[in-house]
């Protein structure tokens, strides 16, 4: 039996898929230890160091996410060792 892919690999970035979520991650920048765990576990690969390379009081470049693609799954918050990500209702 042959299977067909519903989407082609690498097309996720072409489709903004964050519109159906219920929760969004809120990054607590002062708690962030810049471990990159959120990026490693995110199925959409949308967590990254802030673009302006701003640092928190601990001197760490804190992370943020691209909510246009975030599905609100909470995997980033569950795996953050510093508990620097909390899930809150999307407004």
Residue, of 16 and 84, whose pLDDT is higher: 84
CA-angle at 10, arms to 18 and 88, nearest 5°: 20
Q: Where are the domains of the chain?
A: 19-89
Tokens standing for 88?
Answer: 């809150």
- The CATH number assigned to the domain with range 19-89 reads 3.30.70.20
Average pLDDT over residues 14-38: 87
Instruction: Please name the residue ranges forming H helices in 1-91.
Output: 37-41, 75-79
At 69 the pLDDT is 87
At 88 the pLDDT is 95
Residue 74: pLDDT band (50, 70, 90) is very high
CB-CB contact of 35 with 12 (8 Å): no
Residue 48, Cβ density class (10 Å: 0-12 exposed, 13-18 middle, ≥19 buried)? middle
């Amino acid at each position: 039996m042959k299977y067909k892919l519903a989407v082609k690999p690498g097309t996720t970035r072409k489709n903004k898929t964050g519109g159906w979520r219920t929760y969004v991650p809120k990054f607590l920048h002062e708690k962030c230890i810049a471990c990159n765990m959120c990026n490693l576990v995110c199925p959409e690969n949308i967590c990254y160091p802030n673009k302006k390379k701003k640092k928190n009081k601990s001197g760490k470049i804190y992370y943020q996410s691209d909510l246009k693609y975030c599905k609100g799954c909470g995997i980033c918050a569950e795996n953050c060792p510093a508990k620097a990500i909390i899930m809150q209702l999307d407004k």
